[in-house]
Homo-oligomer: A and B are copies of this chain.
C-alpha cells in the first residue's frame, strides 16, 4: 500500500480513503444501504470490475466495510458499511457542499442519476420552518422521480413518487438544482426549461440561500 508516511491525521485519512473510486463506493453504500457487488458496479459507471473488487477488499481490511454471505436460499454476498465507514458521512457532506458550485457545469458526457441528486439535496437543503406542517415536493428530473420531504426538522430526499405532492418540478436537473440551492429564481429556472406544478410557496420552506452560482467565484468557507 502506498502511504504518505506522515504522522498527520489528514494524511492518514487519505492513506485510507484517498484512492480513486474509494469515496464514491462509500457514497453508493450510504445511499443504497447493504448492496450486492453487481448493484455497486451499476452505480459506479466506468469503474473497472477488478478495481471494484480490490477497493472492496481494501475497505474490508480497513474495517470500513463488512462482507456478509447470505444463507443458501438467498445465496448472495452483501457489502455494508460498518459504523466506522458510516462515519465518513460528514466528510462526504462537506465535500458535496464544497462541490455544489461545480454543478453549474454539466458536461454532455456526464451521467445523471437521480439517486446522486437526492443524496446531494439532503446535504444542501434545510427546513426553515421546522414547526410547520410537513411538506412534500416531487422532482421529475434525471432517470427517476425524487421525493423531498420535511421530517422532524430535517429534509429527506429519496427516490419515489407521492400521490399528491405539495409541489412538483419537472425538467433538466441543472436549473432545478440551481433553483433549489438558491442560485437562481423560479422564473429563471422556468426560462431554462423547468415546469412547476402546485404551490410555488412551498419551495421557500426548504430552499437554500446561497448567492454564488459561479464555480470560479464561489468561496464556500
Contacts and interface: CB of A to CB of B under 8 A. Distances in A.
Interface in A52-104: 63, 82-84, 86-92, 94-103
A102 to B, nearest CB: 4
B6 A99 contact: no
Contacts of A16: 99, 102
A51 interface: no
Q: Is the interface of A mostly helix, strand, loop or mixed?
A: helix
A209 interface: no
The count of identical subunits is 2
Nearest to A93: B94
Contact of A83 (B14, B107, B221): B221
A48 interface: no
Interface stretch (A109-117, A130-138, A191-199): A109-117
Contact of A86 (B6, B12, B94, B221): B221
Interface stretch (A19-27, A161-169, A200-208): A19-27
A94 B91 contact: yes
Interface residues of A, number: 61
A44 to B, nearest CB: 9
B220 A5 contact: no
A13 interface: yes
A92 B23 contact: no
Contact of A216 (B11, B63, B101): B63
Interface in A112-146: 112-113, 116-117, 120, 124
A15 to B, nearest CB: 8
A6 B89 contact: no
A102 B9 contact: yes
A211 interface: no
Contacts of A8: 27, 113, 116-117, 120
A87 B220 contact: yes
Closest 7 CB pairs of A and B: A83-B219, A13-B99, A87-B220, A8-B116, A7-B110, A12-B102, A87-B221
12 contacts: A6-B110, A6-B113, A7-B117, A8-B27, A8-B120, A9-B95, A11-B24, A13-B95, A63-B215, A84-B218, A88-B98, A90-B94
